[in-house]
Amino acid sequence: MKIGFIGLGAMGRGMASQLLEAGHEVTVWNRSTEAVEALTRKGAKAAKTPADAARHEVLISMLADDQAAHQVLIESKAVEAMKKGSVHINMATVSVAFARGMTALHDRLGVAYIAAPVLGRPDVAAAGKLNIIAAGDPAQLERVRSVLDAMGQAVWPLGESPERANVVKIAANFMLATAIESMAEASTLTRAYGIEASDFLDVVTNTLFASPAYQGYGKMIAEARFEPAGFTMRLGHKDVGLALRAGDERHVALPLGSAVRDRLLDALAHGDGEKDWSGLAEVAARQAHLDTR
């Protein structure tokens, strides 16, 4: 297929590379040119503007947040440049309200819209092993299935309303945030008693919590390896905020979310916004004053 790809950040670069390897014709656009140049060396074409990238059979966007998506996709007129009957796959984690607005806009323009946020970090994206949560018109989803399959190991369809995929992604990231916070707090407790985080986390991530999320983030906490970030504190703060906003809309209390948001805000206040969100362990240790004991 002829695909336009907008947004070549830590995730988008690997995803676009997988599309090229699968034999798709990919035209890319990104605010910074370095990532574009790297993809063109692999066979991609460079678009001069977001609108140029949008004039293809399929448009994929992978942007940081609502604001970036609004600027790049709407203010630039990229979505309006799409041909009637084409498909836009938005793979970013955006708010429920933004998802609704995008659905309505695409309906007015006669363009199909699929929400397909992903589960996985940059290394998983580069390996084509993402889990893709997808919602939208089933016929259109089937139409682009080969595109999604090129980027992921599994596609999880969740119905016709695109916002459903975004809700699931937001809820999943909320669970990750609380899992990281629980390990941060628990390992800080053991450290206060002279038990290294690595020893504690080795026990729990190989017994009670023997799952990829706990093991992966537990290892990062044990090694105090928070840079380079796979998913930053800043993005974590954004996504927990999305969960709280979604909860407000349907009167669902998320008390753990409020606590984790405050921890992430503490990290941002200390200039740690670009560290991996497993660095919540540093916040817990700092608030416990471990370094002065």
**Mean pLDDT, residues 66-92 taken together:** 97
**Mean pLDDT, residues 241-264 taken together:** 98
- Contact criterion met (CB below 8 Å) for 40 and 27: no
| Distance separating alpha carbons of residues 79 and 196, to the nearest angstrom | 52
Reading the block at residue 191, the tokens are 């450290």
Reading the block at residue 70, the tokens are 């609004």
Name the average pLDDT for the chain.
97
Q: Helix, strand, coil shares of the chain as percentages rounded to 5?
A: 55, 15, 30
Q: Is residue 261 over pLDDT 90?
A: yes
Share of the chain above pLDDT 70, in %: 100
Q: Is residue 293 over pLDDT 90?
A: no
How high is the pLDDT of residue 198?
98
Residue with tokens 């504190």: 233
pLDDT band, residue 208 (cuts 50/70/90) = very high
**Mean pLDDT, residues 169-186 taken together:** 98
In terms of phi and psi (left: phi > 0; alpha: psi -120 to 50; beta: otherwise), the region of 232 is beta
pLDDT band, residue 212 (cuts 50/70/90) = very high
| Distance separating alpha carbons of residues 165 and 203, to the nearest angstrom | 34
pLDDT band, residue 87 (cuts 50/70/90) = very high
**Mean pLDDT, residues 138-157 taken together:** 98
User: What is the reported pTM?
Assistant: 0.96
Q: Is residue 119 over pLDDT 90?
A: yes
CA dihedral over 118, 140, 135, 73, signed as positive or negative: positive
| N-to-C CA span, the chain | 61
Reading the block at residue 202, the tokens are 């080795």
Indicate the CATH number for domain 2-160. 3.40.50.720
How high is the pLDDT of residue 7?
98
Give yes or no on whether 2-160 and 167-292 have one common fold.
no
| H/E segment holding residue 131 | strand 130-134
In terms of phi and psi (left: phi > 0; alpha: psi -120 to 50; beta: otherwise), the region of 82 is beta
Please name which of 270, 10, 131 lies closest in space to residue 279, comparing C-alpha atoms: 270
How high is the pLDDT of residue 165?
98
Indicate the CATH number for domain 167-292. 1.10.1040.10
How high is the pLDDT of residue 195?
98
| Distance separating alpha carbons of residues 290 and 187, to the nearest angstrom | 12
Q: Any residues with CB less than 8 A from the CB of 104 and at least 6 apart, and which?
A: none
**Mean pLDDT, residues 284-291 taken together:** 96
**Mean pLDDT, residues 93-113 taken together:** 98
Q: What is the DSSP string of 158-186?
A: --S-THHHHHHHHHHHHHHHHHHHHHHHH
Share of the chain above pLDDT 90, in %: 99
Reading the block at residue 280, the tokens are 């919540």
- Contact criterion met (CB below 8 Å) for 14 and 64: no
| Distance separating alpha carbons of residues 226 and 221, to the nearest angstrom | 8
| Distance separating alpha carbons of residues 180 and 257, to the nearest angstrom | 12
Q: Is residue 132 over pLDDT 90?
A: yes
**Mean pLDDT, residues 144-159 taken together:** 98
pLDDT band, residue 155 (cuts 50/70/90) = very high
Cis peptide before 138 (omega within 30 of 0): no
Residues with active-site annotation = 169
Q: Which amino acid is at 98?
A: F
10-60: pLDDT as tens digits? 999 999 999 999 999 999 999 999 999 999 999 999 999 999 999 999 999
Q: Any residues with CB less than 8 A from the CB of 106 and at least 6 apart, and which?
A: 79, 88, 112, 113
- Domains of the chain, residue spans: 2-160, 167-292
How high is the pLDDT of residue 231?
96
